[in-house]
Amino acid sequence: MTLRIYNTLKGTKEEFKPIEEGKVKIYICGPTVYDSCHIGHGRAVVVFDVIVRYLETIGYDVTYIRNFTDVDDKIINRGNETGMHFLEVSEKYIKEFHEDMDALNVRRATREPRATEHIDDIIDIVQLLIDKDKAYAVDGDVYFSVDSFKDYGKLSGRNVEDMKAGARIDIDDRKKNPADFALWKSAKPEEPFWDSPWGKGRPGWHIECSAMSYRFLGETFDIHGGGKDLIFPHHENEIAQSEAAFDKEFAKYWIHNGFVNINKEKMSKSLGNFLTIKKVLKEYHPEAVRMFLLSNHYRSPVDFSESSMAEASAALERVYTTLLRGEEIFGQLSVTEETGELWKNFKTSMDDDFNTAQAIGTLFEVLRKMNRTLDKNRDEISDDVKSDIQKTVSDILKIGDVLGLFTTKPSDYFESRKSASSVDEVEVEALIKERREARASKDFARADAIRDELDAMNIVIEDKADKTVWKVKS
């Protein structure tokens, strides 16, 4: 089985072959840290988190770099608005980013470099580009000359002529071509700056990624990724800078995730239709959010709504409900070395361009099968059946390791929902006890009345042979 990845550069899926056997070097464009993350940022980060986890699971040694853009107009503006130094602004939102992503069970990258830590690297590349006649300095600004790079447009499928016709580019007489973009921007009064051969200034937006990827991954690396909106101009410009500077192919595979939509429209700051991760997590379980984000293929849009979140929550609950039955048998769920059919199917789905949606589909088929087996063997469970169930449980947990799901002990999952809600557990237990007594004396009217009362408290009960369990509705 081989891993196939959709490569934006080629416009098609192709077999993944790492540059160096057994190793993967991957660079992802992280956020510009000027405000809280919304769920759209969450999707990008979760998608690549899963991709990296999967690459590691199938045996690759992964070097994962995800940067923070910590100097930029928006950050500076934010600092001016709030009276904070721009680095205080970026620090604040980097901290928030980590809080949010930790909550979503996203693992840290191998390194998370910041643009301001690599100003020297940036200046070196800009100078190299000037020396090679690929860039030019004007009044303290430095621009990349798109005409000097014949492949300009190869990632996004555009050409410089079309863009001129588009006329949405600022006309700036100092530029040789309107599509030329800034590598270095001279400092305006009150702006932060660093000294450079071209005077006081700061880096343009794209150059930092060329500098940091070069620093940590070298001239050529395996995978570069980010949101679809970065294809142009950001990634196009990165390619131009890096390939012009080093005369080597920049990144082999380009992976771009689709957006989180609200009412079919892209969630974004400018449209104002965004929901912060913090806000979403107040209402939904973090794993439900991940389940939601992974329920569609990563390149497709995914529509955020109350009903889609309810669906994801229900899906998560269904997995935990089944896992709980496993926990009742084994006491503690565990992963075994041996893998089963489910794991094989999971790998098949993931090998096909990280198809988490399909993977989750097969998971549910297995869930049904496991429940069926459990139902059939309710009274007595043979060792054969037990080992079968154990294998399934193990596969589910392994899949959870890749998707970042099912990390909680099932009984704890349901218990934590109780403590997280506002219900009075003592009161609930008392009502359930009363109901059991009513049922024992065949006073079903009273028993049903109590159940209705509990229902009104958002509690659902299940009568088992020897006990009654209760859950908080999701």
Sole binder of RNA in the list 51, 207, 302, 454 (CB under 7 A): 302
Sole binder of RNA in the list 367, 389, 432, 459 (CB under 7 A): 367
258 or 340, CB closer to RNA?
258
362 binds RNA (CB under 7 A): yes
Structure tokens at 391: 């294998």
Contact (Cβ atoms closer than 8 angstroms) between residue 398 and residue 359:
no
Site for RNA in 269-288 (CB under 7 A): 269-270
342 binds RNA (CB under 7 A): no
41 binds RNA (CB under 7 A): yes
168 binds RNA (CB under 7 A): yes
Sole binder of RNA in the list 162, 172, 341, 429 (CB under 7 A): 162
Sole binder of RNA in the list 23, 154, 228, 278 (CB under 7 A): 228
Q: What are phi and psi of 25, to 5 degrees?
A: -110, 125
Q: Which residues of 429-461 are buried (b: 16+ CB within 10 A; e: fewer)?
A: eebbeebeebbeeeeeeebeebbeebeebebeb
268 or 339, CB closer to RNA?
268
Nearest distance, CB of residue 28 and RNA, angstroms: 8
Please, which residues have CB within 8 angstroms of residue 78's CB and are 6 or more apart in sequence?
Answer: 34, 35, 84, 86, 89
Nearest distance, CB of residue 421 and RNA, angstroms: 16
Sole binder of RNA in the list 62, 101, 163, 212 (CB under 7 A): 163
Sole binder of RNA in the list 82, 107, 218, 314 (CB under 7 A): 314
Please, which residues have CB within 8 angstroms of residue 118's CB and are 6 or more apart in sequence?
Answer: 208, 211, 212, 215
15 or 247, CB closer to RNA?
15
171 binds RNA (CB under 7 A): no
Nearest distance, CB of residue 32 and RNA, angstroms: 5
Contact (Cβ atoms closer than 8 angstroms) between residue 146 and residue 152:
yes
Site for RNA in 397-456 (CB under 7 A): 439, 444, 447-448, 451
Q: Which residues of 98-114 are buried (b: 16+ CB within 10 A; e: fewer)?
A: eebbeebbbeebeeebb
- Stretch of residues binding RNA (CB under 7 A), selected from 58-66, 103-111, 277-285, 355-363: 355-363
215 binds RNA (CB under 7 A): no
Nearest distance, CB of residue 132 and RNA, angstroms: 24
Sole binder of RNA in the list 67, 145, 196, 355 (CB under 7 A): 355
Site for RNA in 79-118 (CB under 7 A): none
The full DSSP string for 186-229 is EPPTTS--B--TTSSEEE-TTHHHHHHHHHHH-SSEEEEEEEGG
Report how far residue 333's alpha carbon sits from residue 85's, in angstroms, rounded to the nearest whole number: 49
| Alpha helical stretches, state H, 235-382 | 236-246, 277-283, 286-294, 306-330, 341-351, 356-376
Q: Residue 7: in which H helix or E strand, if any?
A: strand 4-7
19 or 160, CB closer to RNA?
160
352 binds RNA (CB under 7 A): yes
Tell me if the bond preceding 410 is cis, omega within 30° of 0: no
**What are the CA-CA distances from residue 64 to residues 74, 215, 218, 234 (Å)?**
26, 13, 13, 19
311 binds RNA (CB under 7 A): yes
307 or 419, CB closer to RNA?
307
**What are the CA-CA distances from residue 131 to residues 88, 121, 296 (Å)?**
35, 15, 46
67 binds RNA (CB under 7 A): no
| DSSP assignment letter at 138 | E
Nearest distance, CB of residue 127 and RNA, angstroms: 23
107 or 248, CB closer to RNA?
107
Report how far residue 177's alpha carbon sits from residue 164's, in angstroms, rounded to the nearest whole number: 9
Sole binder of RNA in the list 101, 315, 323, 396 (CB under 7 A): 315
187 binds RNA (CB under 7 A): no
Site for RNA in 246-265 (CB under 7 A): 257-261, 264-265
342 or 447, CB closer to RNA?
447
217 or 315, CB closer to RNA?
315
| DSSP assignment letter at 106 | P
Tell me the site size for RNA, rule CB under 7 A.
85
Report how far residue 468's alpha carbon sits from residue 463's, in angstroms, rounded to the nearest whole number: 4
